[in-house]
Structure 1
Amino acid sequence: MPQTHLTDTRFDQFALHPSILAGLEAAGFHFCTPIQAETLPLALAGQDVAGQAQTGTGKTAAFLVVALQRLLEQEMAAVPAAETMQAASDTQSGAGLEGGAPQPGVEAGVESATELVDKARAEPVSSRARQPRVLILAPTRELAVQIHKDAELLASHTGFRLGLVYGGTGYQAQRDEIAAGVDILIGTPGRLIDYLKQRVFDLRQVEVVVLDEADRMFDLGFIKDIRFVLRRLPPPTERLGLLFSATLSYRVMELAYEHMNDPRMIEIMPEQVTADRITQKGYMVANEEKVPLLIGLLRQFKDARSMVFVNTKREGERVWGYLEGNGLKAAMLSGDVPQKKRLSLLKRFQEGELAIMVATDVAARGLHIPGVTHVINYDLPDDAEDYVHRIGRTARAGEAGDAISFVCESYAMGWPDIEAFIGARIPISTVEPALLAEVDPKTRVRVERRSRDSGREGRRGAPRERSGRPGDRAAGRAAGGRGRGGTRREPPTKRKQPEAGQAHPPASPAASDDLAAVNPVAAGPEAQAAVSTTASSDAEAPKKRRRRRSRRRSEAATEPDPQV
Structure 2
Amino acid sequence: MFDFDMLGLAPELNQALKRAKLIQPTPIQNQAIPLALDGQDILGLAQTGTGKTLAFGLPLIDHLLAQPGKPAPKTTKSLVLAPTRELVNQIADSLRALTHKTKIRVATVVGGQSINKQVMFLARGTDILVATPGRLIDLMDRGAVDLSSVKHLVLDEADQMLDMGFIHALRRIAPELGTPRQTMLFSATMPKQMEELSRAYLSNPKRVQVSPPGKAADKITQSVHFVARSEKPAKLREILSQDAGALTLVFSRTKHGAEKLMKGLVSDGFNAASIHGNKTQGQRDRAIKAFRQGEINVLVATDVAARGIDIPGVAYVINYDLPTVPDNYVHRIGRTARAGREGEAISFCTTDEVDQLRQIQKLMKAEIPVASGSMPEAVEKTKQARHRGKGRRGPSSNQNLGGAKPAAQKRRRPRRRKAA
TM-score normalized by structure 1?
0.64
Alignment-derived partner of residue 177 in structure 1: 121
**Deviation of residue 390 (structure 1)?**
0.8
Q: Quick check: 1:337 aligned with 2:279?
A: yes
| Aligned alpha-carbon RMSD (Å) | 1.9
Secondary structure, in 3 states, of the residue corresponding to 2:169?
helix
For 1:248 and 1:326, how far apart are their aligned partners in 2?
41
For 2:355 and 2:190, how far apart are their aligned partners in 1?
26
Query: 2:132 is matched with which residue: 188, 207, 212?
Result: 188
Contact 1:134 1:206 in 2 (8 A): yes
Q: Quick check: 1:406 aligned with 2:348?
A: yes
Query: 1:351 is matched with which residue: 285, 293, 314?
Result: 293
Alignment-derived partner of residue 305 in structure 1: 247
Alignment-derived partner of residue 418 in structure 1: 360
Distance 1:282 1:248, change over 3 A: closer
**Deviation of residue 431 (structure 1)?**
5.4
Greater share of strand: 2
Alignment-derived partner of residue 23 in structure 1: 16
Query: 2:167 is matched with which residue: 206, 223, 227?
Result: 223
Contact 1:208 1:239 in 2 (8 A): yes
Query: 1:51 is matched with which residue: 25, 44, 55?
Result: 44
Superposed, 1:387-402 pairs within 5 Å as 387-402=329-344
For 1:401 and 1:19, how far apart are their aligned partners in 2?
34
Q: Quick check: 1:240 aligned with 2:233?
A: no
For 2:183 and 2:161, how far apart are their aligned partners in 1?
16
Secondary structure, in 3 states, of the residue corresponding to 1:331?
strand
Contact 1:164 1:186 in 2 (8 A): yes
Distance 1:393 1:328, change over 3 A: same
Moved more, 419-428 or 216-225: 419-428
For structure 2, which runs of at least 5 residues remain unmatched after alignment? 375-420
Distance 1:157 1:270, change over 3 A: farther
For structure 1, which runs of at least 5 residues remain unmatched after alignment? 1-7, 76-119, 433-564
Distance 1:270 1:325, change over 3 A: farther
Alignment-derived partner of residue 317 in structure 1: 259
Query: Could you tell me which amino acid in structure 1 is paired with residue 370 of structure 2?
Result: I
Contact 1:377 1:406 in 2 (8 A): yes
Contact 2:272 2:297 in 1 (8 A): yes
Query: Could you tell me which amino acid in structure 2 is paired with residue 383 of structure 1?
Result: V
Secondary structure, in 3 states, of the residue corresponding to 1:145?
helix
Secondary structure, in 3 states, of the residue corresponding to 1:195?
helix
For 1:143 and 1:276, how far apart are their aligned partners in 2?
23
Query: Could you tell me which amino acid in structure 2 is paired with residue 282 of structure 1?
Result: V
Query: 2:105 is matched with which residue: 156, 161, 171?
Result: 161
Superposed, 1:35-184 pairs within 5 Å as 35-75=28-68, 129=73, 131-184=75-128
Contact 1:274 1:395 in 2 (8 A): no
TM-score normalized by structure 2?
0.85
**Deviations, residues 184-241 of structure 1 (Å, cap 9, x unaligned):** 1111111112222222221121111101011111111111111111111123xx1111
Superposed, 1:448-463 pairs within 5 Å as none
Alignment-derived partner of residue 514 in structure 1: none
Paired residues, number: 374
Alignment-derived partner of residue 546 in structure 1: none
Contact 1:349 1:355 in 2 (8 A): yes
Moved more, 356-365 or 242-251: 242-251
Query: Could you tell me which amino acid in structure 1 is paired with residue 231 of structure 2?
Result: E
Query: Could you tell me which amino acid in structure 1 is paired with residue 338 of structure 2?
Result: R
For 1:392 and 1:309, how far apart are their aligned partners in 2?
12
Contact 1:287 1:410 in 2 (8 A): no
Indicate the structure (1 or 2) with the bigger Cα radius of gyration. 1
Q: Higher relative CO (CA 8 A, sep ≥ 6), structure 1 or 2?
A: 2
Secondary structure, in 3 states, of the residue corresponding to 1:265?
strand
